[in-house]
Structure 1
Amino acid sequence: MKYMYTYDVMESVRNTNQWLGASARAFAAYPAMAATANPLVQWIGAWGEVTERTFARMVAKPDWGIPSIAMEDGKDHIVRIETEISRPFGDLIHFSVVGRKPMKRRVLLVAPMSGHYATLLRKTVISLLPDCEVYITDWHNARDIPVSAGKFDVEDYTLYLVDFMKHLGSDLNVIAICQPAPLTLAATAYLAEEEPDAQPKTLTLIGGPIDPEANHTEVTDFGRSVTMGQLEQTMIQRVGYKYSGVGRLVYPGLLQLASFISMNAETHATAFQDQIFRAAKGEASDHDKHNIFYDEYLAVMDMTAEFYLSTVERVFKNREIAQNIFVVDGKKVDISKITTVAVKTVEGEKDDISAPGQCKAALDLLTSLPDSKKAFHVEPNAGHYGIFAGRSWRDNIRPLVLDFIDDNATDEKPAPKTTPMKPKVVAVK
């Protein structure tokens, strides 16, 4: 399937469905339709509204939409997004709170490159901003990166993280969420051996597949059931002529989205059916619960073929991180070299993507790290999304992570432990 044709067919199907939705909505909006007093017309308009929005969101990167932050000085401070490092495959960005003194807690959020944009962590960023200086890895959509930019695989990803951490300095607390957890652990070990003074103070790994075999899920079962040749032939396509990355081999975001939805197909079908009925009755709104969630969930990005294939082969199949045999740029990364960085793992009891045990496996690899610098937490009744952006994160996990950061601070007077602070929401356009 490594053809532009198949990539363009998928895009054509998406575009056609968006057009059908827009046409149905426009048809139902004709004044003459109101004279029929037929409920079917309202239903057609509602179907068109939901369908158009659904398929339009699949190719648009969501805005960060970070609100202003209400601080102790009684003022609302707007948040400015600044690029610290710009690279072809991803940037390091800083959420600078205008008019606020730099915070003692400096946090780097390592966002997943698993089909969604870094904006998936918007709520995580908002929850940390009142108490931290927040930085994040903002990965680029592979379809927009020219072939001339070269390759990008798990080793390149790891070296990007190494450079980002070196740039931010050792007074840094890294939080890796989901997919990047094993590579962030590897990047920290790389620094421990090559440049120890650049290591972060703490490393928090949330719901990541350090050892996929520790507890099987549908994701790990799929990785074991197919060969690399089958994946390359069925999942990899070439970007079509519409985008700057024309000709680049990618794992399309639309394919990843299809796999996400198939895991809970009945739930998603019910959600869209209910939304259509709400729209028909005039109960839906632009920022209701359904649209807020699916505007982000449906916005997908392509991954480079080499990153997708090397992740499956080296992290899931060969378990190179779990077996401590991972190699970066010709150098073996030894996780036991981490001796000073405090490490905490966080898992959700009901996580069906990275099940409990997969992330905690990192602690067993840290053979040279004192037990006093190791910590773990399993959040009861929490799923995958909830452990970094839902109620479980806000009410329980976030305070624990901040306390962990403070307990391992090198300052004589660590930042005070805080309870979750609700920022005043004033949208910045």
Structure 2
Amino acid sequence: MLYQLYEAQRALLSPFAEFASASSKLYNHPLSPFTHTPMAHRVSAGLDLMHRLSKEYEKPEFNITSVNVGGVDVAVQEQVAINKPFCRLLRFKRFTDNLPMLTLMKDQPTVLIIAPLSGHHATLLRDTVRSLLQDHKVYITDWTDARMVPVEAGPFHLDDYVAYVQEFIRHVGPEVNVISVCQPTVPVLAAISLMASNDEPTPRTMTMMGGPIDARRSPTAVNNLAMNKSHEWFEHNVIYRVPVNYPGAGRRVYPGFLQHTGFVAMNPDRHLSSHYDYFLDLVRGDDESADAHRKFYDEYNAVLDMPAEYYLDTIKVVFQDFALVNGTWEVNGQLVRPQDITTSALLTIEGELDDISGAGQTKAAHELCTGIPKERQFHYDVEGAGHYGIFSGRRWREAVYLQVRSFIAAHQDDVGAGGRRNSRNGSARRKANAGA
């Protein structure tokens, strides 16, 4: 019922949002007589803020059409490599008629980014993708808003997430370098562990950034909520059915608007201050700062619904049973054994000020991946970075990316990296067929 009430409120506010936008322009347009009335700038700024607070935010686009590679601007085309009910595997293919640059790009490492399925769209990693495209061939998972998936497509569990990741890795090939950001660190480690246990080629490198591998360490407010409430509490209080005005009508989901409420509730003072500063920027005519605010909140306010089965599975497996670190997690009847991974190099990254995944939670992957030689295990703490700072913004571009790039480059020619198979006893045995 709550979802239906939210949709009714959204429908009622939609005309008001458009009216506020039009009225704001009326008090701001140079040809409008209202622009020259007293307090016009403040009235326009207030109406613009009302518009942004009441409007609906659609899924943003990546809008990456070009990138600079070695001093040469090359075109980028977004392609759908695999289209599944709950996710699209996107490839950002680069084009140029510069033959030396084309040869260089073909020899660059391939990266598969596993984006979070945790409320925001994959476009939140736009900065991550744009940086990686300078030196890599890039794929990314683009998770589908569950309210857009018809019930006939069936449920989507955490086990299905793991299966999706495995399919994407196999599609890209054993030369792939996998980067998982936040939530997917756990299912990605499970997917690669199962591939290793089944003697399949595993990725050359695994980069895990700000994820809850072991959520018991330095628990944050997010962890405490998941650990202190019962599984039944989540099922009864945050799971609702999609209204009839969406293709996924009747599907059980954790609605995006509830997730967004939780995001804001974590730092209400910060968001209130940000919106007040936006109002002042509009009054002062500081277009650059106002545009920066719009870009951030256009992304931050665009949320998606998560499948109920996947969300509840994650709460139980990751935050309540700690099944991965306890060695009790089974995916489709097979035990997840990170110790079976022997040929992939591992890099974990944590932000000093991360309030989503606490200190030590991602680093715990090293204690699980005992089959990986110590000389191919690395950890990087990002000083002064919060959760988003490790994959977006200045710290990502100037510090974190350089570490990731160097790590990937250093393990492309390793004898063990990606080019050999794993086995249950931890020995690298038969040579695998490497894709181009």
TM-score in terms of structure 1 length: 0.90
Relative to structure 1, the CA distance from residue 35 to residue 323 in structure 2 (aligned partners, 3 Å threshold; closer, same or farther) is closer
Equivalences for residues 267-286 of structure 1 within 5 A: 267-284=270-287
What per-residue deviation string (whole Å, max 9, x for no partner) do you get for residues 76-128 of structure 1? Answer: 22110111111000011110011234242110011000000000000000011
Partner of 1:427: none
Q: Which amino acid aligns with 1:111?
A: A
Question: Counterparts of 1:285 and 1:137 in 2: how far apart (Å)?
Answer: 31
Equivalences for residues 14-33 of structure 1 within 5 A: 14-27=10-23, 29=26
Question: Counterparts of 2:414 and 2:323 in 1: how far apart (Å)?
Answer: 36
CA shift at 1:25, angstroms?
A: 3.5
What per-residue deviation string (whole Å, max 9, x for no partner) do you get for residues 136-179 of structure 1? Answer: 01100001000000011111000000000011111110000001
Partner of 2:195: 191
Partner of 2:38: 38
Name the stretch that deviates more: 129-138 or 315-324: 315-324
Q: Is the 8 A contact 1:347 1:387 kept in 2?
A: yes
Question: Counterparts of 2:287 and 2:109 in 1: how far apart (Å)?
Answer: 40
Task: Give the 3-state SS of the residue equivalent to 1:344 in structure 2.
Answer: strand
Partner of 1:230: 233
Question: Counterparts of 1:330 and 1:35 in 2: how far apart (Å)?
Answer: 68
Q: Is the 8 A contact 1:54 1:295 kept in 2?
A: no
Q: Which amino acid aligns with 1:229?
A: E
Question: Counterparts of 1:221 and 1:168 in 2: how far apart (Å)?
Answer: 37
Residue identity over aligned pairs, in percent, reads 38
Q: Is the 8 A contact 2:17 2:55 kept in 1?
A: no
Q: Is the 8 A contact 2:278 2:290 kept in 1?
A: no
Partner of 2:125: 121
Q: Structure 2: which 5+ runs fail to align?
A: 97-101, 418-436
Q: Is the 8 A contact 2:65 2:77 kept in 1?
A: no
Partner of 2:431: none
1:155 aligns with 2:172: no
Partner of 2:60: 62
CA shift at 1:402, angstroms?
A: 1.4
Question: Counterparts of 2:46 and 2:245 in 1: how far apart (Å)?
Answer: 28
Equivalences for residues 124-135 of structure 1 within 5 A: 124-135=128-139
Equivalences for residues 346-357 of structure 1 within 5 A: 346-357=349-360
Q: Which amino acid aligns with 1:288?
A: D
Question: Counterparts of 2:292 and 2:409 in 1: how far apart (Å)?
Answer: 34
Q: Is the 8 A contact 2:91 2:140 kept in 1?
A: yes
TM-score in terms of structure 2 length: 0.88
Partner of 1:425: none
Structure 1 runs of 4+ off > 4 angstroms? 30-33
Question: Counterparts of 2:33 and 2:246 in 1: how far apart (Å)?
Answer: 39
CA shift at 1:316, angstroms?
A: 0.7
Q: Is the 8 A contact 2:351 2:385 kept in 1?
A: yes
Question: Counterparts of 2:403 and 2:211 in 1: how far apart (Å)?
Answer: 18
Task: Give the 3-state SS of the residue equivalent to 2:361 in structure 1.
Answer: coil
What per-residue deviation string (whole Å, max 9, x for no partner) do you get for residues 201-254 of structure 1? Answer: 000100000000011110111112211111111101111111100110000011
Q: Is the 8 A contact 1:103 1:133 kept in 2?
A: no
CA shift at 1:285, angstroms?
A: 5.9
Question: Counterparts of 2:290 and 2:94 in 1: how far apart (Å)?
Answer: 25
1:209 aligns with 2:212: yes
What per-residue deviation string (whole Å, max 9, x for no partner) do you get for residues 317-352 of structure 1? Answer: 111112122111111111111111111100011111
Q: Structure 1: which 5+ runs fail to align?
A: 415-429
Task: Give the 3-state SS of the residue equivalent to 1:91 in structure 2.
Answer: strand
Equivalences for residues 342-421 of structure 1 within 5 A: 342-410=345-413
Q: Is the 8 A contact 2:14 2:56 kept in 1?
A: no
Aligned length: 405
Task: Give the 3-state SS of the residue equivalent to 2:260 in structure 1.
Answer: helix
Q: Which amino acid aligns with 1:186?
A: A
Name the stretch that deviates more: 5-14 or 337-346: 5-14
Partner of 1:177: 181
Output the aligned Cα RMSD: 2.1
Relative to structure 1, the CA distance from residue 17 to residue 44 in structure 2 (aligned partners, 3 Å threshold; closer, same or farther) is farther
Task: Give the 3-state SS of the residue equivalent to 2:326 in structure 1.
Answer: coil
Name the stretch that deviates more: 388-397 or 309-318: 388-397
